A and B are shown apart, each in its own frame.
Chain A
Amino acid sequence: MRYLPHSEADRQHMRAVIGISRTDELFGAVPDTLRLGDAVDLPGHKSEIEVDRYMRALAAKNRTAGEGPFFVGAGAYRHHVPATVDHLIQRSEFLTAYTPYQPEISQGTLQTLFEFQTQVAHLTGMEVANASMYDGSTALAEAALMAQRLTRRDKLVVSGGVHPHYRDVLATYVEPDDGLSLMPTDVAAGEDLIAGVDDQTAAIIVQTPDFFGHLRDVKSLADAAHAQGALLIVCVTEVISLGLLEAPGALGADIVVAEGQSLGNPLTFGGPYVGLLATRNAFVRQMPGRVCGETLDARGRRGFVLTLSTREQHIRREKATSNICTNSGLCALAFTIHLSLLGEQGLFRLAKLNHKLARNLSGRLAAIPGVELLNKTFFNEFTLRLSRPAAAIVDALAEHGVLAGVPASRLLPNESSVENLLTVAVTETSVEADFDAYVSALTEVLK
C-alpha cells in the first residue's frame, strides 16, 4: 500500500508507546456488533499501473471535444488554456495548500486571491469581488439571497433568458413562496421584465448574453430596478464576452455574477468550475464567501489576509451570510493566471476572434435550407430554429462526428416551443475545417 508509510514494526512500536496490543483497541467506542472485521465488500488495492490502465479505459469510452468538430456551450465553453496555466496550478505549494488561515505562510495563495478579486472587479466593472464561489449557478443563487437581505424584500423577477439550470438552482435555494417570480422562457429576448417590478421587488435577475445568445439591455433594467428601490443582478455565463461587451457595472448593475470556467479551466464534464461574484463597496458586508484584503505585517511590509470573516459561517454560525466554506481556490488561480497571460489586450483580441468566428459559422449555417438564425445580437453563441426537433438532429450529427450544440429541449423538456431550437457555441478552438464539416453534415441530416 504505497500511500501508507508504516511497516508492521513501526505499528508495533507505536502500539507499545500508546500501551495497547492491537490497533482495534483504539476503536473501543464503536459498538462491537457494528464493526466490520476484515471484510469490506470492495476490491483490494491495486498497483499504479493497474489503476492507470483502468482509468484510461474508462476515459476512452468518452468522445472528447478535441477529437473533432465541437460546438457545445450553454454555460460551459471550450477555450484554449495556455500550457503555463496547468503547470503553475500543479505547483505543490498551490495544489496542496489548505485555505490560507495562517497568512504568514500563505502569502502565495493570498496574493493570488487579491489579484483574482481585482481582475473580477475590473472585468465586471464593480468595486469589489469575493474570492470565488463554487460556480456561476450557485453564485447567482447566493446573489439573489444577498439582494433579499440588502433590500429586506423578497420578490425576485427572474428573466426567461436565464440559463434553465441556473433557474432550477435558484428555485432550490429560494422557495417560490419566498418571492421567486420566474418569467416564462423567452427565446427571442422579447419579455417585459420591467412590468413585473414593484416596490416589493428585491432584484431583477437577467443574464447577458442570455441562454439563447441574445445580448440584453442592462442599462434600462438597472434604471427600472433602481426607480423602485430594487437591485439589478446581472449573470454572465461566458466570461470571455466581457472582453468585448460593456461591463455590467458600468451599466448600473448592483451585483454581477459569472461562471469563470472559460478562463483557465477545462470542461471536465461540468466541474470543478469557478463562480465570480462582484458588487458595490456599500454592500460588502452582505457579500457571501471569503474575501482577501491588504494589510501590513509587524515589520511594516505589505501582506494579505482573509478578512471580514465575521460574515462567515465559522464565526457567525446560524447568522452567517452563507454556509459556504471551501470554494474554488485552485480554479480561481487558473482563472487569474490565464487572464494575466491574456492581459487586457489579449482578452479583447480573444473576444473579437470568438465573435468573428461565431458570425462566420452562423452565416453559413443559416444559409442551409431548414435553418433559421434566431438572433439579432450575440457574442459567441447563437440559436438556430431547425425545421425538425433539434435533439434528434444533434444525435444524428454526433453520428457524423460533429458535436453540434445543445438542443434547448434537453434543458426544457416540457416546452414544445423550444423543441426545434439548437444553441451553437463557437470559440477560438474551432477551425474552418470544423465549420465545413458542420455545414455539410447538417445539410445532409436535414435533407
Chain B
Amino acid sequence: MSLNTQGRPTAIENVDTSGQVGGAALLPDEPLLFEIGGPDHSGVDLDDIEIDDAFLGGQKRETPLDLPGLTEPEAMRHYVRLSRLNYSIDAGLYPLGSCTMKHNPRLNEKAARLPGFADIHPLQPVSTVQGALELMGELAHWLMVLTNTNAVALSPKAGAHGELCGMMAIHAAHRANGQDHRDVVLVPESAHGTNPATAAFLGYKVKPIPAAGDGTVRAADVEAALGPDVAAIMLTNPNTVGLFEPEIRKIADAVHAAGAYFYCDGANFNAIMGVVRPGDLGIDAMHINLHKTFSTPHGGGGPGAGPVVLSEALAPFAPVPFVRKTDEGFELVEHGEGSESFGRMTAFHGQMGMYVRALTYMLSHGGDGLRQAAKDAVLNANYIKARIKDRFSMPFGSQHCMHEVLCDDSFLNGTGVTTLDFAKAMIDEGYHPMTMYFPLVVHGAMLIEPTESESLPSLDAFADALIRLADAAKEGDAERFTNAPQTAPRARLDETAAARKPVLKWTRSSDA
C-alpha cells in the first residue's frame, strides 16, 4: 500500500509538557477586566444628565472611582472566556466529600426567575406577596415532615449561619430555663471546622470528644464528658467519615438526661432523607444545606441556604421572621417582642431564591424520589468503595459507608506521592479532586462523595481512573503526580507567596 501522508496527523509527537497545553483558543489566558476596559467604555446607554447638588450636602464624590468599564461584547467575551477555566458539576463528576455536588436541575433556575418570585420586594405589603409566603410555608412543611420536627427557621443564609441559629436557640433556651451557667459544648474531633467556630463564637468552651476505633462516637464517651456545665453537643450524622452514628439515639438520651441539647450538623442529610427522620433520633436542632441536599447550585461558593429545624423544646426561641398561616391567608411575623424569639439573623426573610429552587426540586422528586435519591447516593458510594477497595486504604473500611467513602494515605506509603499529589493527578484524569485532608482524624484523608447523580458508566469510569492512578503510584511513576496537573489552565500555584505578600486587588501598573 502507499502511505498517504497528506492527511492530518493523527498522533502527536514530542509532547511538550513544559509550556501551554490545550488549545489556546479553548483555554485562554484572560486579562483582568481592568486591563481590557477603559474609563469611557460602558455596556449601558445612559445620558450624561446635569443635576443640581442642593440635596447632596456637600458630599459629592471627588475621589475618582477608577473602575474601567466594558462594552457589552467585551463583557460577554471576558466572562465567557473566564468561565472556561472552571470545572463544574455540569461538565463532570465532582466527588467532593461532605459537599454533595449533585445535579442542579434547570427547572429550579427557571422557577426562581419567575417575576412572581424574583421581582418582589421583602417589604411589600403582605397582602401582595401571599404566593411567596405560601411557598415558604410549603418548603417548611416538607422540611418538617422529612425531619419529624415541630418548627423550622428558614432565614439562615448558609450552613454555618444555620449552625449559629441553632446554637443561639439553644443558648436562649438555657437562659430562659435559668441554665446560663452551662458554658461547654461537646464537639467530636471529626467535626466540620464550622462547628467549633460556631460554639466559640457564642462564647462556649469547646470540649473535644474522641472517635472510637471504628470512626463513630460512643455513647459512653459522651456520657463521660457530660455534666452540669454542658450546654449542648454538636454532632454530624451521618458523620464526616461517612458513617451513620449507630449509638445516636443513646447519645441523644444521655444528652437530654444531662439537661443539654442535641445540635445535629445536617450537612450529610442527603444520605438519609426519607429513610430515617432526625427528629426520631432525638435531635433538637439541625440545619439543612439547601445547596447540598436540595440541589440549589453552589455558584462557585454560594449563595446557599441553611434552614434549621427545631424540636418542640427549641421552637419558641426561633428567630424572626417566620410565616404563620391564618384563616385569612399567610402572615409574616417580623417582630419578636413579647415572645421568646432570640432575635433576627438577617435583614429580610432569608434566601427566597434558594427556597424556590429547593421546593421545585422536592416537588419534582416527591417523597418517593427523595428517598430513592438517598438510597442511590449510598449505593453509589458503596459501589465506588467496592470497586477500589483492593487498591486504596480505608481506615473504617470493614463497614458499609453511607454516601461517601473515606480513604487515608497509607496505600501511598513509600511511593513518594502525597494525598495532594494524588488529588492533583486526578485533574489530569479529567476529574475534580475529592475532598482532601478532611476529616482531620485520619492521615492524608481522601473523602469521595459521588452523589446519586452519577450513572453506572460514569461511576465505572471514575473508579477506573482511581485504580489507574493508584497503580501508577505503586509502580513508581511519581512524576505523574508531583508535576500534576499538566493539562489544567494553570499548574500548581504558589500559595506561599500569595500568603506572605498578599496582593488582594488590581493596581494600575503605573502606580506600582
Contact = CB atoms under 8 A, between A and B. Distances in A.
Contact flag (A, B; Cβ within 8 A): yes
Nearest to B111: A55
Interface in B75-89: 75-76, 78-80, 82-89
Interface in B314-364: 319, 334-335, 337, 342-354, 356, 359-360, 362-364
A437 interface: no
Interface stretch (A20-28, A192-200, A364-372, A438-446): A20-28
B249 interface: yes
B386 interface: yes
A322 B298 contact: no
Contacts of B378: 23, 26-27
A419 to B, nearest CB: 15
Contacts of B506: 114-115, 118
Contacts of B299: 89, 94-95, 97, 329-331, 333
Interface string A338-369: 01111111111110110110010000000000
Contacts of B295: 3
Nearest to A171: B343
Contact of B369 (A4, A29, A117, A250): A4
Contact of A65 (B56, B104, B120): B120
B471 interface: no
10 contacts: A1-B368, A6-B455, A38-B371, A45-B364, A51-B107, A92-B90, A102-B423, A340-B43, A353-B47, A395-B127
B48 interface: yes
A121 interface: yes
Interface stretch (B27-35, B222-230, B406-414): B27-35
Interface in B350-406: 350-354, 356, 359-360, 362-373, 375-376, 378-380, 382-383, 385-387, 399-400, 402
B337 to A, nearest CB: 7
Interface residues of B, number: 204
Given A11-B379, A172-B345, A269 B300 contact: no
Interface string B425-438: 00100001100001
Contacts of A102: 87, 423, 427, 432-433
Nearest to A410: B123
Contacts of A29: 243-246, 399-400
The 9 lowest CB-CB distance pairs between A and B, nearest first, are A343-B69, A59-B116, A270-B348, A61-B131, A330-B299, A42-B367, A270-B122, A341-B43, A45-B366
B18 interface: yes
A10 B456 contact: yes
B161 interface: yes
Contacts of B417: none
Contacts of B476: none
Given A26-B379, A55-B114, A64-B119, A98 B101 contact: yes
A50 B368 CA distance: 16
Interface of B is mostly: loop
A387 B294 CA distance: 49
Contacts of A312: 193
B197 A342 contact: no
B387 A268 contact: no
A174 to B, nearest CB: 11
Contact of B128 (A17, A62, A94, A273): A62
A378 B51 CA distance: 13
Given A98-B301, A342-B69, A325 B159 contact: yes
A84 interface: yes
B181 interface: no
A138 B376 CA distance: 37
B415 interface: no
Interface string A58-83: 11111111100010101110100010
B309 interface: no
Given A6-B376, A30-B276, A96 B243 contact: no
B343 A323 contact: no
Interface string B83-108: 11111111100101001010111010
Nearest to A92: B90
Contacts of A322: 197, 201
A341 B367 CA distance: 44
B160 interface: yes
A337 interface: yes
A343 B342 CA distance: 42
B172 to A, nearest CB: 10
A135 interface: yes
A131 interface: yes
A48 B107 CA distance: 7
Interface string A318-335: 111011111111110100
Contacts of A44: 366-369
A93 B86 contact: yes
A88 B33 CA distance: 15
B23 interface: no
B505 A245 contact: no
Contacts of B274: 36, 40
A256 to B, nearest CB: 13
Given A34-B277, A42-B370, A93-B85, 7 more contacts: A60-B116, A62-B131, A99-B302, A267-B122, A270-B346, A298-B492, A341-B69
B235 to A, nearest CB: 14
Contact of A30 (B33, B272, B354): B272
B19 A339 contact: no
Contact of B70 (A56, A135, A343, A347): A343
Contacts of B55: 355, 359, 375-378
A252 interface: no
A95 to B, nearest CB: 5
A192 to B, nearest CB: 18
B465 interface: no
B454 interface: yes
Contacts of B13: none
B161 to A, nearest CB: 6
A11 B51 CA distance: 69
Interface string B17-53: 0110000000001101110011111111011110100
A414 B337 CA distance: 9
B291 interface: yes
Interface in A127-172: 127-129, 131-132, 134-138, 163, 165-166, 168-169, 171-172
B488 A105 contact: yes
B74 to A, nearest CB: 9
A402 B277 CA distance: 46
B320 to A, nearest CB: 8
B499 A293 contact: yes
A371 B290 CA distance: 45
A421 to B, nearest CB: 14
Interface stretch (B4-12, B59-67, B254-262): B59-67
A118 B497 contact: no
A406 interface: yes
A17 to B, nearest CB: 5
B348 to A, nearest CB: 3
A417 interface: no
Interface string A102-136: 11111111011011011101110101110110111
Contacts of B61: 242-247, 348
Contact of A97 (B48, B161, B298, B499): B298
B393 to A, nearest CB: 19
A63 B129 contact: yes
A270 B352 contact: yes
A72 B432 CA distance: 44
A16 B223 CA distance: 40
A63, A117, A318, A375, most chain B CB atoms within 10 A: A318
A184 interface: no
A57 B303 CA distance: 26
Contacts of A228: none
A447 interface: no
